[in-house]
Structure 1
Amino acid sequence: MLAFIEKEAECFLTNRAKEPSFQSFRHFHKNGDRQLFESEYFDRRKRLTTFGLLSYLHPNEFIYIEELENQIWQICQEFTWCLPAHLHMEREGQTYEDYRISQSLHYSIDLFAAETAFTLAEIHHIFQDRLDPFLIEKIKIEIDRRVIAIYLDNGPYEWEEATHNWAAVCAGSIGAAALYLVSDRSVLRSILARVFQTMECYLQGFEEDGACTEGYSYWQYGFGYFLYFLDLYEQATGETSRLLSRDKVHKIAQFQQNIFLSSNFVVNFSDAIPMAKPMLGFSHYLYHKWNDIHLPAREHGQFQIIDHCGRWAPAFRELSWYDSKLPGNNWPEKTVLFDESMIFLSRISIYAFAAKGGHNAEPHNHNDIGHFILLGGNEIFLKDLGAGQYHKDYFNDKRYDFICTSAAGHSIPIINGKFQRDGKEYKAIPLKSDFSKDEDIWQLALEQTYPEPTLLAYNRRFHWKKTAKPRLFLTDVFQFKKQPSSIIESFILEDRSYRLFDDYILFEGEEQSLKFIFDSQLTPIIEQQFFTNHQGEQEGFLRVQFPLVDLEQEIEVIFTLEFC
């Protein structure tokens, strides 16, 4: 961790920060692209966090505190701490006449404005004896006028009643900043009451099983800020919040150990990325709170602790919460079913299988009910595309035009030319869950996931045989009012070499191969396709489709996926 921070500092000292331009700020509103402005915005915060950590670790190195002051100064001069994609233009976009009437500047509070307030408040607290007194006062003024005063004078904001990561991050950050800076006890109590109310909303976004349907990285993010705030609250007041005693919060804390496939491969349904690294300091903190938390193997942990957004709060805690005395181990063999969220996972040695039920109105939703992931030899074969590049259209009514969010980008069938639709009414009904040492069976009714009135019933059955070389039997049973016009079984696979035979396709990996067995009457159509992933890079995948033949009112089709 220390080596990473020092390398970042060396780079930053050699290459000066790019000054933000008006054109980059307006780029999103004109073109919908977030990357240009955000790369400059997050670069400043990476520098702030880097020099803040090194000032903490090396208090006698003057260059680090000087660079920290420069980054604080730059951030205090920003037009807004909010990202352009999150701006309420009636605030920052106020006219001169609006300003003359109100005689005040208005600000939006989003994730990053709130995080910036938390960051500067904590840095102020830690370095108040070392920072220039002028800058100390500037920090307090900017946090108050941009966040705390705005929060007190307005609201409720839409994220105060949200049931996803925004609630925890925004409220937790404001609560943390207030604990550091608000000296008026009655004002502080008022802020904390609102923060705790929002935290209740955040917890409502989880089912009792503790699964984060937004994905693992959003669990790290939202649940992280939930606990950062509660930890500071405990330190400031000497009281432990009753939220921590809830069984649901304990289940949420266990999510990490129940969602990894193997090593750094994670179940990446929704807007999640396929590879992730546990935060070791955060994991150690969870273990000290709940001793049944699995400690991940150290070699799989996150050592590049300053993330792509340059967040101070998690980076600082990765250092301060890290416990070198705690050992770590590989993820244990396990079968997990999140009953209410309908996420299934089974880990066996170097193999893993995961499948998804639920509904199509989840946070960061993809139309993916009945979709699944298959891993063998620490390689992904059947895959989830995960998060696409965030763009203006990615979060509006064009969301499902993107392959990674649409039903077309998942391993689920196309029925009479129709795909799954978005909406809470499109949902799976669990039919059977039977798990044992040797095999797991999970069966779902999926007829309600399609806008097809002639579809009477559609059952998808996963039968996972946990032999030395595991096999997955996938059975789809359809029942219609009248003979269907078409059914296409569709699968999404990692882009890899393959060989086609009469009744199977052999997908080749470095250590394992996957034999995809099908009825010899079927003719597969195999296409290489591409999408823009979360990092803005073109990523290839294979789409394998089987148009069914001899269509009747009742149809059963079986595929066998066998490692060899």
Structure 2
Amino acid sequence: MSWRKQVLKKLRADAVRFEQEKVTEIDFRTYREFMTTGEREAYEKQYFYRRKRATTFGLMLYEFPDDKHVASLLENEIWQICNEFTWCLPAHMDQNREEQNYQKYQQMKHLAYTVDLFAAETAFMLAEMITMFKGKLDPFIEEKVAIEVDRRVFTPFKQETFHWERATHNWASVCGGSIGAAAIYLIENKEERRTILTRVNQTMNSYLSGFYQDGGCTEGYLYWQYGFGFFCYYADLLKKAEQINLFLDPKVKQIALFQEKIFLSGNHIVNFSDAPAQAAPQIGFTHYLHQQFLEVHLPDEDLAQTNIVDHCGRWAPAIRELQWYDASLKGSDWPEQNYYLKESAIFLSRNKKSCFAVKAGHNQEPHNHNDVGQLILYGKNQLFLRDLGAGQYNKDYFNHNRYQFICNSAEGHSVPVIDGIYQQEGEEYRGEFLKVEQADATDRVLIELSQAYPNDMRLLRELNWMHTEQSELQFIDTYQFTDSPESLVESFILADLPYKWYEDKCILVGDEVSMEIHYDSDFWQPAMERKYFINHSGEKEWFIHMLLTCKSIQPVIEAEFRFKLI
């Protein structure tokens, strides 16, 4: 079955289910839950469910434009969204706006609204829908949308500035791009529209400034899809409406090429920062990027998303998956190639059987984890050394408690613990690639890690990746201490696989596909513990934490281990 047929089959099934399911309004206590407990899940589940319904019915109307019943279903969802108390998530809301008191209302004579990611996305969605389906929806719905977008998004945007206008991450492109797109669709006055688009273009420049010239996205792959996606959705509309071409910036091309540089194999990705271990390319979006830049690799269509309505029910990427998909374009496996993103501080070595990735950077990156020196090792369709990726988002995840979550803290990464001290957050805690040597059989990477720790010492991490028939990673951490610490532990995060001790100097990890971990038992005492964290989906996810404690601490220590795929 072709990709498009799979997508439409899923959409039809979802549309039937959504039509049969009863939708309840978000009650007051659910709305207030984030303010009282810090939990986001209950409110957001209902909020996003409404948008999944609207997007699904909208996609069905796109495919079947004469179906008046589907049009009626879509009208009802739009009506309900227009009647929501706020389009902003409580987690993002400025309570001085939506929850203003009567005295402030008397002074302002109108309600105030926060413009966050989802308020802006909602404006984009509704503006595009009533434009795309002009004449197929009730004229009053069209008028209602125009009014609500104006008072909830355009008016606050015109009256004040928002923090995300100067952001260098996805908030800038999503909020700015969505407002710009909505303005292109709804604002007829050329001067008013030009004023908005000028500000939006400045915000897009801020977004691009968050990337180095190598185009790497340190936020993680899904934030590349998200942030760069909305940049492209807006840029495409801007080029058509105003003949302004944002794709001419050389950096945009490098960002477009990032996707192929972050996959290990199949749907397995290098998931540094807040990213899952597996993800699927957006095939329509990739086809569009390929048409802009022929160097963009076309992945195998079997890897692509077929459930194009994501967990947030986003309309903009979903409709473009259908519009931009080109059945004449044929994809292939990810290239057998190395990628060294020097400025973004990521190195990936990939062949058909195995992959290895490592990062340097610093500990104040967007969606930061304390992970300078972190490793990922994948071979023969199995992840061995892993990154935990994103945890469940709640209030504490984005405040001063962020590094209490093991997936964000250095404890949850394959980096040393010196005198019981983990890497800390902050741009001053950093690492640097000193050398990257690439050859047919072996790649050698040398990273300076001294500044990643507050201790007075020198720490070099050397990684020799031998990608032959049986791939092997030789790992050497060299310490030179001014004052020797009381304790030194080498920590590694492994996939949740069975393991057994083998001969006293080796640990065998895995079943049919295995990895040997070799260590010097005279100097290192190993311990293995099965742990879990709560992942981005709110589910328990298990992993193996391997700790090797140094038995004899000297002023100079060379910690050598071998990870051999068998």
Q: Please, what TM-score do these two structures have when normalized by structure 2?
A: 0.98
Match of 1:416 among 414, 419, 426: 419
* Equivalent residue number for residue 480 of structure 1: 481
C-alpha distance in 2 between matches for 1:258 and 1:477: 29
Match of 1:542 among 537, 541, 544: 544
C-alpha distance in 2 between matches for 1:460 and 1:339: 16
* Equivalent residue number for residue 88 of structure 1: 94
* Equivalent residue number for residue 313 of structure 2: 310
* Equivalent residue number for residue 13 of structure 2: 7
Amino acid at match of 2:202: Q
Checking the alignment, whether the CA contact within 8 Å between 2:354 and 2:467 is kept in structure 1 is no
C-alpha distance in 1 between matches for 2:223 and 2:27: 30
Deviation at 1:523, TM superposition (A): 2.1
* Equivalent residue number for residue 262 of structure 1: 265
Match of 1:402 among 378, 401, 405: 405
Checking the alignment, whether the CA contact within 8 Å between 1:165 and 1:222 is kept in structure 2 is yes
C-alpha distance in 2 between matches for 1:350 and 1:112: 41
Deviates more, 1:7-16 or 1:442-451: 7-16
Match of 1:216 among 221, 232, 238: 221
C-alpha distance in 1 between matches for 2:97 and 2:511: 54
**CA deviations over 1:448-478 (Å, ceiling 9, x no partner):** 00122x32x0000110001111100000000
Match of 2:249 among 243, 246, 267: 246
Deviation at 1:440, TM superposition (A): 0.6
SS at match of 1:365: coil
Match of 2:120 among 81, 102, 114: 114
**CA deviations over 1:503-531 (Å, ceiling 9, x no partner):** 01000144x21001111222211001111
**CA deviations over 1:248-286 (Å, ceiling 9, x no partner):** 111100000110000000000000111000000000000
Amino acid at match of 2:533: F
* Equivalent residue number for residue 385 of structure 2: 382
* Equivalent residue number for residue 147 of structure 2: 141
Is 1:178 matched with 2:183?
A: yes
C-alpha distance in 1 between matches for 2:511 and 2:199: 52
Match of 1:198 among 203, 211, 216: 203
SS at match of 1:197: helix
* Equivalent residue number for residue 23 of structure 1: 29
C-alpha distance in 1 between matches for 2:416 and 2:92: 36
Question: Percent sequence identity over matched residues?
Answer: 48
SS at match of 1:539: strand
**CA deviations over 1:122-147 (Å, ceiling 9, x no partner):** 00101120111111110100000000
C-alpha distance in 1 between matches for 2:310 and 2:435: 41
C-alpha distance in 2 between matches for 1:152 and 1:287: 36
Checking the alignment, whether the CA contact within 8 Å between 1:379 and 1:509 is kept in structure 2 is no
Is 1:39 matched with 2:59?
A: no
SS at match of 1:528: strand
C-alpha distance in 1 between matches for 2:511 and 2:275: 24
Amino acid at match of 1:301: A
Deviates more, 1:33-42 or 1:1-10: 1-10
Deviation at 1:240, TM superposition (A): 4.2
Is 1:333 matched with 2:339?
A: no
RMSD: 0.8
Checking the alignment, whether the CA contact within 8 Å between 1:360 and 1:423 is kept in structure 2 is yes
Checking the alignment, whether the CA contact within 8 Å between 2:345 and 2:432 is kept in structure 1 is no
Deviation at 1:15, TM superposition (A): 1.1
**CA deviations over 1:408-440 (Å, ceiling 9, x no partner):** 000011011110010001111221110111111
1:160-559, aligned counterparts within 5 Å? 160-237=165-242, 239-241=243-245, 243-452=246-455, 454-455=456-457, 457-501=458-502, 502-510=504-512, 512-521=513-522, 522-559=524-561
**CA deviations over 1:50-86 (Å, ceiling 9, x no partner):** 0011111112222211110000000000000000000
C-alpha distance in 1 between matches for 2:511 and 2:39: 36
Match of 2:133 among 127, 130, 140: 127
C-alpha distance in 1 between matches for 2:361 and 2:531: 27
Structure 2: gaps (5+ residues)? 1-6
Checking the alignment, whether the CA contact within 8 Å between 1:445 and 1:460 is kept in structure 2 is yes
Number of aligned residue pairs: give it. Answer: 558
Is 1:60 matched with 2:60?
A: no
Checking the alignment, whether the CA contact within 8 Å between 2:177 and 2:233 is kept in structure 1 is yes
**CA deviations over 1:521-561 (Å, ceiling 9, x no partner):** 22211001111000000111100000012211110011000
Amino acid at match of 2:510: E
Deviates more, 1:518-527 or 1:110-119: 518-527
Deviation at 1:357, TM superposition (A): 0.3
Structure 1: gaps (5+ residues)? none
Checking the alignment, whether the CA contact within 8 Å between 1:211 and 1:252 is kept in structure 2 is yes
Deviation at 1:246, TM superposition (A): 2.0
SS at match of 1:428: strand
Question: Which segments of structure 1 move beyond 6 Å, counting only runs of 4 or more?
Answer: none
C-alpha distance in 2 between matches for 1:383 and 1:224: 27
Deviation at 1:348, TM superposition (A): 1.4
Checking the alignment, whether the CA contact within 8 Å between 1:381 and 1:514 is kept in structure 2 is yes
Amino acid at match of 2:141: L
Amino acid at match of 2:461: R
C-alpha distance in 2 between matches for 1:84 and 1:451: 38
C-alpha distance in 1 between matches for 2:244 and 2:75: 34
C-alpha distance in 2 between matches for 1:3 and 1:379: 31
Checking the alignment, whether the CA contact within 8 Å between 1:532 and 1:539 is kept in structure 2 is yes
SS at match of 1:143: helix
